[in-house]
């Protein structure tokens, strides 16, 4: 099972308490973030999962310039877009203007590609535009997956937009990158994939002993098993229930699903915790 470092603490995001996230961010320099990634990698973490926030671009640029070995060593699972930025933009300018800006922006950059094409292509271009700068920095072979952020994934699931999924998957397959959805509604997603006959390369979804952000826990667990049974690589996120569970409680829980989980992701702002958590996850989830 792969172990990935998540970026939430790097962005000041805490699903436990927002004040805690803000406090963390105050003391988090780029060097400190590097220490976290290095500590986890030394203990066997193999990847970094992050959203397309400008501070992550800054971090990856720093890695390219000063920590090339680590950049080459890690695998990358990218969440796109960084949703909060767009939510804030809708607050300022309104959703209609934001959509217009996205469409017009893409039109300017890709005039020939947008004339008379279906909206799926606009979505592909929107996603691709968000990723472009990251893909220029990262070693292409190490970019394992692009995952649609939950804000869009849940819309896809709720409105059964399987064609969007198909087109995006096709787009990234051509680039040699896996495609998936990040969702807090795994049970609904599993049902949709079963009904439509579509598939995904990856699904990233919360898995923790409390069932926090999992919907109805038992249903979500069954869905995870079903997804993995169909060859979808399941990445368990929020494994510590945003800090309400210990790593020991988490591994005891995750052990039950060992055969269904492809990777686990956890976030921390502390190098010593990155080291300890990776060691514990490796010991309990990867021993024969």
Interaction site with another protein (CB under 8 A): 12-13, 15-19, 22, 84, 87-88, 90-92, 94-96, 99-100, 103, 118-119, 122, 150-151, 154-155, 157-161, 164, 184-185, 188, 210-218, 241-245
Minimum separation from the CB atom of position 212 to another protein (A)? 4
CB of 225 to another protein, least distance (A): 17
Own/partner pairs, 212-219, CB within 8 angstroms, 24+ separation: 212/15, 212/238, 212/241, 212/242, 212/244, 213/15, 213/184, 213/238, 213/241, 213/242, 214/184, 214/186, 215/184, 215/185, 215/186, 215/187, 215/188, 216/187, 219/187
Question: Closer to another protein at the Cβ: 43 or 167?
Answer: 167
- Which CB atom, from 150 or from 201, has the smaller least distance to another protein? 150
| Nearest distance, CB of residue 137 and another protein, angstroms | 24
Q: Is 137 exposed, middle or buried (0-12, 13-18, 19+ CB in 10 A)?
A: middle
215 vs 211: CA distance, rounded Å: 7
SS3 181: strand
List the one residue out of 288, 184, 182 whose CA is nearest residue 232: 182
Q: Which two tokens stand for residue 113?
A: 């590609």
Q: Which is nearer to another protein, 206 or 271 (CB)?
A: 206
Beta bridge partners of 61: none
Question: Closest approach of Cβ 93 to another protein, in Å?
Answer: 8
Choice between 169 and 184, CB closer to another protein: 184
Supply 156's token pair: 């896809």
Least spacing, CB of residue 89 vs another protein, in Å: 9
The smaller minimum CB distance to another protein, of residues 34 and 107, is found at: 107
Q: How far is the CB of 283 from another protein (least distance, A)?
A: 25
Nearer to another protein, 52 or 242 (CB): 242
Q: 268 by DSSP, 3-state: which? A: coil
């Amino acid at each position: 099972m792969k172990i990935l470092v998540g970026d939430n603490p790097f962005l000041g995001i805490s699903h436990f308490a927002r004040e805690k996230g803000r406090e963390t961010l105050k003391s988090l320099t780029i060097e400190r973030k590097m220490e976290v990634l290095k500590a986890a990698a030394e203990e066997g973490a193999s990847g970094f999962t992050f959203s397309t926030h400008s501070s992550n671009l800054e971090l990856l640029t720093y890695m390219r310039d000063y920590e090339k070995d680590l950049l080459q060593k890690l695998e990358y699972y990218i969440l796109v877009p960084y949703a909060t930025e767009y939510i804030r933009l809708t607050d300022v300018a309104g959703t209609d203007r934001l959509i217009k800006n996205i469409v017009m922006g893409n039109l300017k950059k890709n005039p020939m590609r947008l004339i008379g094409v279906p909206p799926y292509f606009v979505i592909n271009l929107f996603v691709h535009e968000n990723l472009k700068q990251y893909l220029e920095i990262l070693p292409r072979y190490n970019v394992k997956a692009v995952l649609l952020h939950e804000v869009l994934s849940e819309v896809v699931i709720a409105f059964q937009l399987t064609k969007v999924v198909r087109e995006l998957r096709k787009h990234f397959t051509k680039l040699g990158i896996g495609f998936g959805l990040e969702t807090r509604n795994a049970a609904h997603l599993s049902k949709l994939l079963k009904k439509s006959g579509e598939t995904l390369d990856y699904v990233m979804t919360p898995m923790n002993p409390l069932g926090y952000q999992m919907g109805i826990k038992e249903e979500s667990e069954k869905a995870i098993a079903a997804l993995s049974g169909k060859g979808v690589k399941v990445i368990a996120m929020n494994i510590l229930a945003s800090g309400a569970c210990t790593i020991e409680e988490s591994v005891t829980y995750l052990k039950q699903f060992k055969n269904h989980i492809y990777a686990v992701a956890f976030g921390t702002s502390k190098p010593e915790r990155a080291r300890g958590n990776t060691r514990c996850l490796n010991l309990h989830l990867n021993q024969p």
